[in-house]
Amino acid sequence: MPTTSRARSGLTSAEVARRLADEGPNVLPEGKRSPPLALLLREMVHFFALMLWAATGLALLAGMPQLALAIVVVVVLNGAFAFVQEYRADKAGRRLRELIPADVKVVRDGRRVVVNAADLVVGDTVLLEAGDRISADLELAEAHALAVNESMLTGESVPVRPREGATVFAGTFVVEGEAVGVTTATGARTRLAAVAALTRSATRPPSPLARQLAKVVKAVAAIALGVGVVFFALSLLLGMEPSAGFLFALGVTVALVPEGLLPTVTLSLARAAQQMAAQKALVRHLEAVETLGSATFICTDKTGTLTRNEMTVVEVWTPGGVLDLAEPESAAEIMHSAVLSSTGRLVRMNGRWTPVGDPMEVALHALALRAGSREDGTVTKRFPFDPGRRRSSVIADGVLHVKGAPDSVLPLCAAVPGAEQALEALSRDGLRVLAVARRTAPADSTVAKAERDLTLLGLVGLEDPPRDDVAEAIGKCRLAGIKLAMITGDHPGTARAIAKEVGLLGPEELVVTGATLPEEDDALGELLDRDGVVIARVTPEDKLRIARALRRRGHVVAMTGDGVNDGPALREADIGVAMGASGTDVAREAADLVLLDDHFATIVTAVELGRTTYANIRRFLTYHLTDNVAELTPFVVWALSGGTIPLALTVLQVLALDIGTDLLPALALGAEPPNPRTMHGPARTGSLVDRHLIRRVFGVLGPAEAVVEMTGFVAVLMLGGWTLGAEPSPVLLAAASGTAFAAVVLGQLANAFACRSETRWAGRLHWTGNPLLIWAVTIEVAILLVFVGFPPLASLLGGSFPPPAGWALAALAMPAVVAADALHKAVRSRTGST
């Protein structure tokens, strides 16, 4: 900010250190967190857990301590697992939130510096401009056309316009103008701290993904309860004692409740969020991970997202001709006006030149320093930049200095021959162009009276080269069926040149401006619903309409934004994407995803991880439900045979499958990395449990496991001399039951690899592509050997070590599952069915 009549030198570093030690950091006190033990106990008393505790009590009353113990193990292990994932996700979320930039521009030791908001102390001089989040309570020493959004505190959406001497509060946002304020309260002493204390108990409503998963869990649980009721009735019909039949049905119900499903999903989402953070994409809401993978249309900014945001002045045109920047002194006059009307600066800090503020204005200041331009001038009035005017100006020593978009400045100037042609030439080269002008003006002029009858000093062309890997990222989007649009405030010629250079411009080469967009949303959607369109000279209101129009046409829209007025558009879009390095606090607060490196390719990486997460959820859903089919089959066969075929699995064996052998492979499937085909073709949307998944589980994978399971069970019985309807000896039944148990475990081992892909059979996948799965199935086999080979435990579960023939038959489950899966995928591929 240029020197003003009321500039302050700020506190000294020594005084800041002393006050920081006395007052503490400028952070809000954290709400009282529930202790870990309380969180753990909460996971033990939800609806399903209470149902299981009741079952435990009934089992004890009926004299079946083994069943009671097994149910307790189910509740405790699932509760502990859910607690661990929730606790880890919460910790990861807190760590990730700390990555969001929270910097403040202050004056200390007579110099402008950027500090962390936590280091503010009472008495600090804070510099504010449009887009800043106010980080402490401040008394305004200066205010230039200032407007502050206090909706966070008051709920009033209309910005207030405080004047000098007024107080602005922490947590509010500057939406227009500039100001200088002196800190009056920090941390727990701010007004925001009092409001925060009232809102800490608020909770976010469940996401669409969470609601969809809850429906799946409740549906399966309802089926489990229904199956339990049916089996209780059948047991009575077959002559069982009511108490025995009730506990038998209760055990079936308990075994089929998918308690481990939601924690597995939580882990999958949390892992994806951490992976995105490692790729410089900060997910502010965990459920946004899955939504990202569904994006069908990305509306991206140009500056800093497609380009490097490393601006350099490469050409200056004046009415006298193009200046030779090899002799920068020739640009001293135009740079004097350009810098006075700017706030960005190159500041010498710790022996280095450090950019502070907008990169474009920093580039102007860099040339001004080389040119030896004067930076002095007593500023008596400021007219800050706003999206409507698209220019900024100051009155200093009786002269108005103006800088802004050429099409907003040139109409205010006397006609200059060659200016329009120069503008077209600079824009055609892909340069960002600014017009600089001036005139004499009284110190008390209004903006309308001041910004007229200007004298054009010239046009400044700034180069912002495209990022190196943007073209590759754009190619990935096209391969993935994602449409792209560039939305920028730049000149149409500049936007077209950059879009063409990076490969974004579509075959129709459609370039439109915000002023020419249709007024009707339907017509707007029809115009823009194509790949590679460029919309230049847009306003924040245009971005909001664009997001709404595209969503009405069925698109899942990702919209980038960095400006103070981009918040509504980011909220309107399905995925609001804010810039972490250069964006405003307003935009970051409104976004679902914050790009810590402001890079377009990071959006594409996040989309890929989002698609992977959706696919992983379907993978372990398929895995879980297939196991349920194999677990339920022995009870169905027993019932249909009228009890003439003994139960192949006991209730305790079913529980051992759920909590002993299935858990780790399911978790490993949730960590399946992206495959090269993840970004091939449009995103899959709709229900997680769709027709294809149901057909695959209940028509292919489940029956393959169940057939081998029951074949092995009956074969071992018959090899031992059993005949249909006879009562097998306990030793023979245990060996046959151990065979059935081993068949399910080995079938699930193969199923884990089959579930890695919905289209390719397991043999075409790299076996080492998911190292966690290799470890998981290895441990699964070890657990199997313990369950059937450790006599006390095998006896408790109701089985024993299978005979050699039993192992041979059980091992057939692996090729049977793989073969059935491969055949199913081949048929689907050949017929093109879904």
Residue 182 pairs in a beta bridge with 125, 139
Torsion angle, alpha carbons of 281, 284, 290, 296, to 10? -70
Residues of 259-272 as b/e, b for ≥16 C-beta within 10 angstroms? bbbbbbbbbbbbbb
According to the model, what pLDDT value does residue 3 have?
38
Q: How far is CA 386 from CA 129, 161, 435, 583, in A?
A: 11, 15, 16, 16
Q: Distance between CA atoms of 39 and 85, rounded to whole angstroms?
A: 11
Q: How far is CA 450 from CA 176, 218, 342, 394, 553, in A?
A: 19, 67, 17, 10, 45
Could you tell me which residues come within 8 angstroms of residue 365 by beta carbon, excluding any fewer than 6 positions away?
339, 342, 344, 345, 346
Instruction: Give pLDDT < 50 ranges for the chain.
Output: 1-7, 92-93, 96-97, 99-101, 157, 198-205, 834
Give the phi and the psi of residue 383 in degrees, each rounded to 5: -120, 90
Q: Tokens 């380009």 label which residue?
A: 307
Q: Tokens 């980011």 label which residue?
A: 570
Q: Distance between CA atoms of 224 and 211, rounded to whole angstroms?
A: 20
Q: Distance between CA atoms of 56 and 69, rounded to whole angstroms?
A: 8
Which amino acid is residue 52, in one-letter code?
L
According to the model, what pLDDT value does residue 86 have?
59
> Would you say 190 and 169 are in contact if contact means Cβ atoms under 8 Å apart?
yes
According to the model, what pLDDT value does residue 100 have?
46
C-alpha closest to that of 823 among 696, 712, 708, 698:
696
Active site residues: 301
Q: How far is CA 734 from CA 431, 599, 658, in A?
A: 80, 61, 20
Residue 680 has a CB neighbour count (10 Å cut-off) of: 11
Q: Please return the burial class of 490, using the count of CB atoms within 10 Å of its CB with bins 0-12, 13-18 and 19+.
A: buried
CA-angle at 360, arms to 374 and 603, nearest 5°: 165
Side-chain-facing half-sphere of 192: CA atoms under 13 Å: 24
Q: Distance between CA atoms of 502 and 602, rounded to whole angstroms?
A: 16
C-alpha closest to that of 570 among 599, 552, 601, 594:
594
Side-chain-facing half-sphere of 623: CA atoms under 13 Å: 35
Give the phi and the psi of residue 171 in degrees, each rounded to 5: 90, -10
pLDDT tens by residue, 75-121: 777 677 667 655 665 554 455 445 444 789 999 988 888 898 889 99
Q: Distance between CA atoms of 141 and 117, rounded to whole angstroms?
A: 19
> Would you say 711 and 775 are in contact if contact means Cβ atoms under 8 Å apart?
no
According to the model, what pLDDT value does residue 615 have?
86
Q: Maximum distance among all alpha carbons in the chain?
A: 112
C-alpha closest to that of 490 among 296, 334, 307, 298:
307
Could you tell me which residues come within 8 angstroms of residue 511 by beta carbon, excluding any fewer than 6 positions away?
492, 495, 496, 499, 505, 533, 534, 535, 536
Q: Distance between CA atoms of 570 and 102, rounded to whole angstroms?
A: 20
Run of H or E including 403: strand 399-404
> Would you say 529 and 555 are in contact if contact means Cβ atoms under 8 Å apart?
yes
CA 258 to chain centre: 27
Torsion angle, alpha carbons of 687, 692, 696, 697, to 10? 30
Is the model's pTM score more than 0.85?
no
According to the model, what pLDDT value does residue 205 have?
44
Run of H or E including 246: helix 242-256
> Would you say 126 and 105 are in contact if contact means Cβ atoms under 8 Å apart?
yes
> Would you say 303 and 309 are in contact if contact means Cβ atoms under 8 Å apart?
yes
Q: Distance between CA atoms of 51 and 71, rounded to whole angstroms?
A: 10
Among the residues of 279-392, which ranges form H helices? 288-292, 332-340, 359-371
Among the residues of 514-650, which ranges form H helices? 521-528, 540-552, 567-572, 585-590, 600-640
Could you tell me which residues come within 8 angstroms of residue 43 by beta carbon, excluding any fewer than 6 positions away?
49, 78, 79, 80, 82, 83, 86
Which amino acid is residue 477, in one-letter code?
C
Q: Distance between CA atoms of 108 and 351, rounded to whole angstroms?
A: 16
> Would you say 788 and 741 are in contact if contact means Cβ atoms under 8 Å apart?
yes
According to the model, what pLDDT value does residue 48 have?
63
Q: Distance between CA atoms of 179 and 197, rounded to whole angstroms?
A: 29
